[in-house]
Amino acid sequence: MKALKIVIIILVVLIAIILIPPLFMPSQMFVERSAVLKAQPEVIWDQVNCLGNWEKWDVWHQDTNLVGTYEGQECGEGAKNIWNYKDREEGGSQTIVKVRKYEYIKTLLDFQEMGTADAEMMLEKVEEGTKVTWNLRSDSPYPLMRWVHTLMVAPNVKKSYDEGLVNLNELTKDMKLEQPKYTTGEVTEKEVTSFNALVIRTKCTMEEMGDKMGQVFGALMAYTGKIGIQMAGPPFSIWYEYESEVFEFDSGIPVPGKIVGEGDIKSLETYAGKVIHATHTGSYESTQYSWGALQEFITDNGLELNGDPWEVYITDPMSQPDQTKWVTELYWPVK
């Protein structure tokens, strides 16, 4: 009887040891590490925004016991890495779910039976280079996962994050930012006449812009086909908001005369008058440099803005895959 009591006491003590400490452990594991890397955010960006590049610096991606595959797009929102272990029937995935270019990435980690986690990476430009802050958070169910996260997972994450940031710094410290290949034609003043167009207003982030524009121009072409008219010129976009994270713009196509739209498709008569103009040759992403040349010309010549800038897409990307040969006409109304 005495032996039984001793056994019961031991069991109670063991259960207490297992159950009581987790009451004081956090219900969510949160790990955050940071380091200042020598490279600029623009240099580091592709190494963290493209999951395939993580194999060059991330400790987990270099685990030889893992077999990784990729699906979805290569970089940015929707990019996904799926892994499986060689020695057991387990695996997981990592998906990029949100980005702010050169600043922020959020990923969703799915560890299957072990649960899920959110991870964020923030890039902040500092005098020495870039401060990179990397965190991970995951729910810690009571009681066992609190023990597992506290004693095993959190220390391993801290170690791997510290090593990963060191590796990322070594990888990028001597990298040079590849300058986009583009040319800006002569910046001049000229007069333009107005034309009729059908447009659709869009609000989106930089990362969403390509897909949104493709959808808009597809809808406009479908509508003109439906009503039996032809485009009267190349497609264009008028920019209303372009200095924040969310861009607002009209994408449209010129049409022969005033045409009534339907739904989101609106009729528009464009600006007529004095503009500053230049021809940009290169990718759409590199137009920012030519727009900068227009801004400089306007400032240097003491000109006053007189409306919203627009760009006309002369080259059809479907027939010319080489982005360095894409031609875009830039216009900025002035008084």
Helix (H, G, I), strand (E, B) or coil at 201: strand
Domain ranges across the chain: 22-172, 183-333
pLDDT of residue 12: 66
Domains 22-172 and 183-333 share a fold: no
Burial of 65 from C-beta contacts in 10 A (0-12 / 13-18 / 19+): exposed
At 249-258, the pLDDT tens digits run 999 999 999 9
Q: Which CATH superfamily is domain 183-333 in?
A: Regulatory factor, effector binding domain (3.20.80.10)
pLDDT of residue 184: 96
N residues, the chain: 335
Contact 181, 213 (CB under 8 A): no
Dist CA 211 CA 209 (whole Å) = 6
pLDDT of residue 1: 64
Query: Which architecture does CATH list for 22-172?
Result: 2-Layer Sandwich (3.30)
Give φ, ψ of 53 to 5 degrees.
-75, -15
| Helix residue ranges per DSSP H, the chain | 2-19, 41-49, 144-148, 154-172, 209-227, 287-300
Task: Annotate 67-106 with DSSP letters as a single string.
Answer: EEEEES-SBSTT-EEEEEESSSS-EEEEEEEEEETTTEEE
The segments of the chain whose pLDDT lies below 70 read 1, 4, 7-9, 12-13, 15-16
pTM over 0.75: no
Rounded to the nearest 10°, the torsion over CA 207, 209, 214, 218 is: 140
pLDDT of residue 64: 82
At 106-124, the pLDDT tens digits run 999 999 988 999 999 999 9
pLDDT of residue 223: 96
pLDDT of residue 13: 65
